[in-house]
Structure 1
Amino acid sequence: MTYQTLNISIVGALATVTLDRPDVRNAFNETTIAELARAFTELGRYATVHAIVLAAHGPAFCAGADLNWMKKMAGYTHAENQADALHLAQMLRTIYLCPKPVVAKVQGDCYGGGMGLVAACDIVVAAEEVNFCLSEVKLGLIPATISPYVIKAMGENAARRYFLTAERFSAQEGHRIGLVHELVKADALDAKVAEIVEALCHNSPHAVQLAKVLVRDMAGQPVSDALLLDSAERIALIRASEQGREGVASFLEKRKPDWLGS
């Protein structure tokens, strides 16, 4: 896989997707959007990849939209603007629906659309010095395409404040409102991400994939008879699956499951 704006590495069961435009604070343009969509689509199909880390090169994680791209958008027709925004929305959905667990490693400030990238990931680890900002209304815009993921991540109440005020907020505040799962010192960021990746890769890849779907499908649902049947059907199917049988057998036999190798 060759990319202009990303760096992709695969080591063992871990793939790392690194935003690699440090000269523009990893702001994204149409090329970055297309490449992120392609990278997560392709990595999602790799049987040997069990987890993906989304990282960034340089002092900033992502400054949102690239200024030159924004200048170009100023001359777009309504139809062109809609098509352009849809590409961004589809890219974020590709990350969100990726069958592999995705960990965001946020080493620097994250603004605007960059927060959509973070919120679309499953687990977010941030350095204590990081600042976040949903800055769109300062520019006369709204965070529309990123809103489904940001609202899920930080909750409606916090989103209402930060969508409207465009205040910059700290990683500590991001942790308090639920956007950030783990908050660490900058020099401990790599170690914490590695710890989480190790936990992910220790588990059944099939079960992790279905657990990710389970959270999406169950969140916000009423506990109805239909939901009970659905949950019972899911556990019945995975108990009979190859990895389900192997996982239980390896536990009872006090040995490693075969997905961990010999």
Structure 2
Amino acid sequence: MAEPDLVHVDHRGQAAVVTLDSPHNRNALSSSLLEQLHAALAGVTADDRARVVVLTATGTVFCSGADLKEQLAGGPQPAVGLPDVVTLIYGSPKPVVARVNGAARAGGLGLIAACDLTVGLARATFGFSEVRIGVAPAVIAVPCLRRMDRRAARELFLTGETFDGLRARDAGLLDRAVADDELDQTVDVLVGQLCRGAPEALAVTKRLLQDLPGPDLDEDLRRMAAVSAERFASAEAREGIAALLGKREPSWDTSSALATGGRP
């Protein structure tokens, strides 16, 4: 019997919308969902039609974390796990925007934190619930501690308390916390802005955001001077500068024609 489709991909304009669709378990991170999510993200990363990736979910829950029934049942380690998905999002040359349509817990917060830009509902609830069931937010600490305020993370990790989207924004987990009727518009605006950037330049900028600051100031400056020189010598830079001087849009900028509809 074939596995049900738990993840869908839709192309809307130059955005590839990757949607978790496992409502029977609140979009929990089962081995099947993780495998399908990894395959979907790998596919859109390699697809030239997509300039930006939007990660979202169906229903009122973004992701409830690990599939606890599956965890209790035991069994062999799955071929694809959450670390593989986080690594893929980090390594994607394309910006990944989280459209957080509802509640998120535990591993779901790790997915959000791995994304480049995050937009969620102000009324949604979030929680690092691991300690309350006797485990620890181990894997998700890797992306979360790279994004969140350290003091806020300490309290939220240790208490396991539930918090809303406004606090998630203040803690650094969300970039924007919006009303329900503003979610799609906010995501669409961000996608349009991202599509104004040159694809190679966006990929390089993602890498430097992850790499800096390093342990040594002089080494950082040396490496970034080389990156800057390489970019100014690139075909994208020649096109971008010519477009600016010629008072026209560069060849990659089709933002005015986008109709992403970030909703699933």
Q: TM-score, normalised by structure 1?
A: 0.91
Deviation at 1:11, TM superposition (A): 2.0
Query: CA offsets per residue over residues 34-73 of structure 1, 9 Å max, x none?
Result: 1111111121112221101001100111111123312223
Query: CA offsets per residue over residues 145-188 of structure 1, 9 Å max, x none?
Result: 11110111213222211111111111111111111101110011
- Read off the aligned partner of 2:29 and give its amino acid letter: F
Name the CA distance, whole Å, in 2 between partners of 1:20 and 1:232: 44
Which stretch shows the higher mean deviation, 138-147 or 223-232? Answer: 223-232
Q: Which has the higher contact order (CA 8 A, sep 6+)?
A: 2
Structure 2, unmatched stretches of 5+, are: 258-264
Deviation at 1:260, TM superposition (A): 2.7
Select 2:238's aligned residue among 210, 222, 245: 245
Name the CA distance, whole Å, in 2 between partners of 1:225 and 1:116: 33
Select 2:150's aligned residue among 139, 156, 163: 156
Which residue number corresponds to residue 189 of structure 2?
A: 195
SS in 1 for 2:195: helix
Which residue number corresponds to residue 83 of structure 2?
A: 89
Name the CA distance, whole Å, in 2 between partners of 1:123 and 1:229: 28
8 Å contact kept, 1:85–1:145: no
* Structure that is richer in helix per residue: 1
Q: TM-score, normalised by structure 2?
A: 0.91
- Read off the aligned partner of 1:37 and give its amino acid letter: H
Query: In the comparison of the two structures, how many residue pairs are matched?
Result: 253
Deviation at 1:91, TM superposition (A): 1.5
The verdict on how the C-alpha distance between 1:3 and 1:38 changes in structure 2, with shifts beyond 3 A counting, is: farther
Quote the RMSD (CA, aligned, Å).
1.8
SS in 1 for 2:62: coil
SS in 1 for 2:102: coil
Structure 1, unmatched stretches of 5+, are: none
Give matches, 1:160-175, under 5 Å: 160-175=154-169
Q: Is residue 235 from structure 1 mapped to residue 236 from structure 2 by the alignment?
A: no
Deviation at 1:202, TM superposition (A): 1.5
Give matches, 1:122-133, under 5 Å: 122-133=116-127
- Read off the aligned partner of 1:236 and give its amino acid letter: A
Deviation at 1:30, TM superposition (A): 0.3
